[in-house]
Amino acid sequence: MPVKNRFAELQSEITEWRRDIHENPEILFETHRTSALVAEKLKEFGCDEIVTGIGRTGVVGVIKGKSDSTGKVIGLRADMDALPILEATGLDYASKTDGAMHACGHDGHTAMLLGAAKYLSETRNFDGTVVVIFQPAEEGGGGGREMCEDGMMDRWNIQEVYGMHNWPGKPVGSFGIRAGAFFAATDQFDITLEGLGGHAAMPQKTVDTTVMAAQAVMALQTIASRNADPVDQVVVSVTSFQTSSNAFNVIPQTVQMKGTVRTMSGEMRDLAEKRINEICAGVAATFGGAADVNYIRGYPAMVNHEEQTEFAADVARKVSGDCEHADLVMGGEDFAFMLEERPGAYILVGNGDTAAVHHPEYNFNDEAIPAGCSWWAEIVEQRMPSTI
């Protein structure tokens, strides 16, 4: 079962949609133009129901099959938002919005799901109902969580849900997936260390927050090296270090540090949060200072369900002949919220030899469109085969 011929026919049209979205990127929940475009296309396709405003600016389309003997409902999800990055591709269809860019391929995800929706609306060669989900604010805003909190899963009785992401470095149109934890939980921390500022020539009269913070940065690395089980994954990265003074001869009163924690299990997530608080308090006390830690939990780990992953991989092999066992990804993905509510799976589709995602020279590879559309369509037609 190779790529569907219909998607080869539609590729140029889908590419036009994709490049239009690319040219007009919108960040987080501000996907007003993109959401309107999606709703307009779904109406053109003849979807049975179109609802906007789910999760603020999300769009849901409902497509009914030729029959519905089992009441099966499958959700297919694509993200729509861009990143606050200045584009450096030099493309004819490069971003027209200064400081915003589709640097993660969500323009491609949206266009491919629109292509699948057009095909499924034309053929309806399945038994049950498809719910196509177009989500805002994947890039840090938690749009997936908000769509779930708006009751999306229960409102349309979604029983399984599937998502996809392009992957630079994988051959175009090939696939990769893994069961269980796949993408990491993404937490962040803000730490303020308080000491006693003063003249740098008289350190004995100060509580030096710079030394205190430097010790804390190094000590935080022991969470991975000495607290974590070596077979469990955890990353603790301090990414910002700012003192309250820029003078060469002043020991600052405070130092502020920011960073991120990435984990694959709830137990490791709890341990990392606990140890960050303990280490910072202990280091600060050692030097006679104080620590204030604000630990902010972000997306949970994205966990693929076993049965749905096996099915998704089988469909991918039939579409492209290739579905590798994917590596763990320490980046985050808020499709995790949907997989917490319903069983499902998330797959990677090859983007070829391109710049990495979140890079100013990245561009979604339009040659991946037929494979991505075919996978989504076959998920539906194989999971809910027509009885007519």
Known binding residues for Mn(2+) are 104, 106, 139, 165, 358
Residue 381 contacts residue 200 (beta carbons within 8 Å): no
| SS3 of residue 303 by DSSP | strand
Exposure pattern of 68-106 as b/e (b: 16+ CB <10 Å)?
eeeebbbbbbbbbbbbebebebeeebbbeeeebbbbbbb
In this structure, what token pair is assigned to residue 327?
Answer: 């590596």
The answer for residues whose C-beta is within 8 angstroms of residue 155's C-beta and 6 or more apart is none
Using a 10 angstrom Cβ sphere, with 0-12 exposed, 13-18 middle and 19 or more buried, the burial of residue 359 is middle
Count CB neighbours of 372 within 10 A. Answer: 30
Residue 339: how many CA atoms within 13 Å on its side-chain side? Answer: 27
User: Which residue spans within the chain are E strands per DSSP?
Assistant: 49-54, 58-64, 73-79, 129-135, 160-168, 175-177, 180-183, 185-194, 198-199, 234-243, 250-251, 254-263, 290-299, 302-304, 323-325, 344-352
- The DSSP code for 201 is T
CA-closest candidate to residue 199, choices 251, 243, 275: 251
d(CA 154, CA 81): 24
In this structure, what token pair is assigned to residue 195?
Answer: 């000491």
Q: ∠305-309-311 over CA atoms, to 5°? A: 130
Residues annotated in the binding site, as ranges? 104, 106, 139, 165, 358
CA-closest candidate to residue 327, choices 159, 125, 167, 153: 167
The CA dihedral of 150, 152, 155, 156, to the nearest 10 degrees, is: 170
CA-closest candidate to residue 166, choices 103, 95, 94: 103
d(CA 388, CA 369): 29
